[in-house]
Structure 1
Amino acid sequence: MNPSPHAGAERGSGNRPALSRCIRVGAAEFAADYWGKGPLLSTADTLEHDFSDLFSSEAVDELVSERGLRTPFMRMAVEGSVLSKDRFTSAGGFGAEISDQVSSEKVLAEFAGGATIVLQGLHRTWSPIIDFTTRLVADIGHPVQVNAYITPASSRGFDPHYDVHDVFVLQIAGEKRWRIHAPVHPDPLSDQPWSQHKAAVAAEAQNTPVIDEVLRPGDALYLPRGWIHSAEALGDTSVHLTIGMSAFTRADLVRRVLDRTRDDASLRSSLPLGLDLADPDALAGVLAETLADLVAAIQNDPPGVEAVGASLARRFTEVTRPEPVRPLATVAGLATLDGTSVVRWRLGLAGDLRLNGEKVLLTVGGRSLALPASCEPALAHLLSGASTSLSALPGLDVDDAVVVCRRLIRESVLVLER
């Protein structure tokens, strides 16, 4: 068996709880009608939960004043222009001799003067968002990052622009007016930023918006990559989260297919000696011959679904971070591990399970673990993502389950829940 990098009972059953917090429609309808296609506004009265458990104005003050943040985990901007880091950082002082630690005094001065605070990488620095992001990655199957934007009253942080990743905007505090315009460059790739189409973006921003709404606490907005947007805080300070989702694309699949053709002898051959690359007529024949050889190479050795999937799964593993583990609590729990202990597969950790004679090979995070073949039913059950007591693991008695799970917990494959 070869489960996805985000295997789990919730996703497998169609229930995507983290995603569902951000949308007023069902997950299936969102996938079919909105994902990568068009914006979706979800007001607080249409959502089951607000976002106060994820972030707050108090959290902003704590991060800025007490957590010792450094750049690039924070930046500041005024009317679209990013401030140099010396405007809001200073040396850390005795015991923290670093030059770019966030200075709460400098931040106060700039913020009071109208600068927007941008807290970057909250999926690495703020516990509730770390947990939420891990679950959202499992729900959507694409890498995720989270920033917070804290904008003073009646201030605009950035000019109209588009992002090269899909986003959810979650309004935390205050009110912000959002103007959304149609793309001028649909589905931009990561190396196709809005600055490459600056004039077209500015022109489109003068047209009637597709959406012109004020987001209030508990509201959420989904924007596919490429959709132009700008926002302005109204009244009091606005705090919102921007959840960036860097979607894998069909171009990524094509790239994996092309990578396989590197071993084809005809495609490894040199271009003709003295070829004038500026001469369209000379290049046309070479290009036509090369494309024909490329098609032939793909037809002669068609890429298998498993090979392409494994390649993209490796990339997914490289750019995402599995659920954090707690070393002290885990070691303490291992000391009392027994049949009543409850474990589950670590969220966001890719797993591959294969029988090999009298052994079952479990590949996780680039490592391979060999266990007795009798463990296969228990491992398959754990890979489903369900929380399970050791005594309930199929195919193992309690003593064997303790031995197997102790190893997998120490290897950071399983999480001990209780």
Structure 2
Amino acid sequence: MKILQQLLAPYPIEQFLAEYWTQKAIHISAGDARKFHALFSWSDLNYLLNYHKLAEPDLRFSMEGKSLPQTRDPQDWSDRLRQGATLIINGLHQRVLTVAELAANLRHDIGYRTHVNLYCSPAQQRGFDCHYDTHDVLILQIDGEKKWFVYRETVLYPTPDMPSSKQHQLEEPPYLECVLKAGDLLYIPRGHWHYAVACDRLSLHLTVGIDCQTGLDWLNWLSHELKDSSNWRQSLPVVVDGNTNALEQQLTALRQHLIETLHQPDILHKYMDAVTYRHQPPLPVTLPAQMGTDIFPDLFMTRFAWSPLHRIRVKQLGEEHYQVRVGSKQVDLKGVPEIFVENLFKQDEFSLLDIADWVPNLDLEGDIAPLITRLVTEGILQIRER
């Protein structure tokens, strides 16, 4: 959990998971105002606003809990900020590479889908009424300061169809009241009511949403698996004059089939694999190399790197036969020695000369170059620019 550990530092990750994760909010002060500056900055925000065609629902404004009418005029955006509205940009992880890497690596750390939104709030302003989210959140304060109030939950582990707008908050004081300064982190579990007010200057923060899986998600996955069986797609018997005998008989048969399905030895691993590999970001497009052009611009000194948004999973299927999975892409490698595979997938970056050192018996042009070409054109491997 390297990325999560970096975000929580200096707080121990083991203590966070044992005492706070899904249980209660915590404010962690790193004492380093520039801790998150490498992720995002005012310059990044200005670039998005000036050179991207942003519109609702990706860009919107909220003031005192109410969404403002849509506008695409950048001059209106500045005016709204001056009037006290909070600027929100959704899906920041789909627009900025550093944020995309954060979301992808955090997803690999904890095993669940993540997304990142941006919030820019004028001084002394509150963009939202007190509410709770139906996902866990990590709030990363980039610049400015914001005062947060967190209250205990009224619904345990709410799902997306149980929004706070349909619930009533308890009339009691917050159990956590804190001021986030630049470099600070705030964790709020789903279901815990909260709101925030910017302090004496413009505030900029990122909110990382974490969509944890639940038992209901497993049941939903299981229902999709059962669609392959015609027995489950078959219409249930009609109830004639209140006679439910036929209906009971068919439901009993379906119950038995469900029990047999749940007792399949690989059913849990199938679901765990589905959780591991779904919701992965797409492999990056790398032109012109992905079309087979200029794959070795510096000849043997050409350097290659793996996608920064994905983790590599290698499974040995037989002697010199390996299955490589990166995101949604799966590639079989045959006739490659074990020492080559061990070195290749442990390196963040390498060149053809590095490979020659690992496996001096392999021919660079006849064996290695075609393999590297295949990995590049498949979109798994990228050419590192000088």
SS in 2 for 1:289: helix
Equivalent in the alignment of 1:243: 208
- The alpha-carbon distance between structure 1 residues 140 and 387, as it changes in their structure 2 partners (threshold 3 A), is farther
Aligned runs of 1:70-219 on 2, under 5 Å?
70-85=55-70, 88-89=71-72, 103-197=73-167, 200=168, 203-204=169-170, 206-219=171-184
Answering whether residue 255 of structure 2 is matched by residue 255 of structure 1, we say no
CA contact (8 A) 2:312 2:345 kept: no
- The alpha-carbon distance between structure 1 residues 135 and 364, as it changes in their structure 2 partners (threshold 3 A), is closer
How far 1:221 moved relative to its partner? 0.4
Answering whether residue 39 of structure 2 is matched by residue 54 of structure 1, we say yes
Answering whether residue 335 of structure 2 is matched by residue 373 of structure 1, we say yes
Separation (CA, whole Å) in 1 of partners of 2:217 and 2:52: 38
Answering whether residue 362 of structure 2 is matched by residue 397 of structure 1, we say yes
Query: Which structure has the higher relative contact order (CA within 8 Å, separation 6+)?
Result: 1
- The alpha-carbon distance between structure 1 residues 240 and 299, as it changes in their structure 2 partners (threshold 3 A), is closer
- The alpha-carbon distance between structure 1 residues 33 and 380, as it changes in their structure 2 partners (threshold 3 A), is farther
Separation (CA, whole Å) in 2 of partners of 1:137 and 1:300: 30
Equivalent in the alignment of 1:296: 259
Equivalent in the alignment of 1:95: none
CA contact (8 A) 2:289 2:377 kept: no
How far 1:366 moved relative to its partner? 4.6
Q: Between 49-58 and 333-342, report the one with greater CA deviation.
A: 333-342
Answering whether residue 378 of structure 2 is matched by residue 411 of structure 1, we say yes
CA contact (8 A) 1:20 1:26 kept: no
CA contact (8 A) 1:137 1:348 kept: no
Give per-residue Cα distances to partners, 1:60-94, cap 9 Å, x unaligned.
33322343433332111111111121xx31xxxxx
CA contact (8 A) 1:19 1:139 kept: no
Aligned runs of 1:272-351 on 2, under 5 Å?
272-274=237-239, 289=252, 292-293=255-256, 295-298=258-261, 301-317=264-280, 320-322=281-283, 324-327=284-287, 332=294, 334-338=296-300, 341-344=303-306, 347-348=309-310, 351=313
How far 1:214 moved relative to its partner? 1.1
TM-score, scaled relative to structure 1 = 0.77
CA contact (8 A) 2:296 2:302 kept: no
SS in 1 for 2:300: coil
- The alpha-carbon distance between structure 1 residues 290 and 171, as it changes in their structure 2 partners (threshold 3 A), is farther
How far 1:228 moved relative to its partner? 1.2
CA contact (8 A) 1:360 1:375 kept: no
SS in 1 for 2:202: strand
Equivalent in the alignment of 1:8: none
Q: Between 214-223 and 48-57, report the one with greater CA deviation.
A: 48-57
Picking from 12, 15, 35, the partner of 1:26 is: 12
5+ residue gaps, structure 1, are 1-13, 90-102
CA contact (8 A) 1:260 1:303 kept: no
- The alpha-carbon distance between structure 1 residues 53 and 369, as it changes in their structure 2 partners (threshold 3 A), is closer
Equivalent in the alignment of 1:10: none
- C-alpha root-mean-square deviation of aligned residues, in Å? 3.5
Percent identity, aligned pairs only, is 27
CA contact (8 A) 1:355 1:373 kept: no
How far 1:159 moved relative to its partner? 0.6
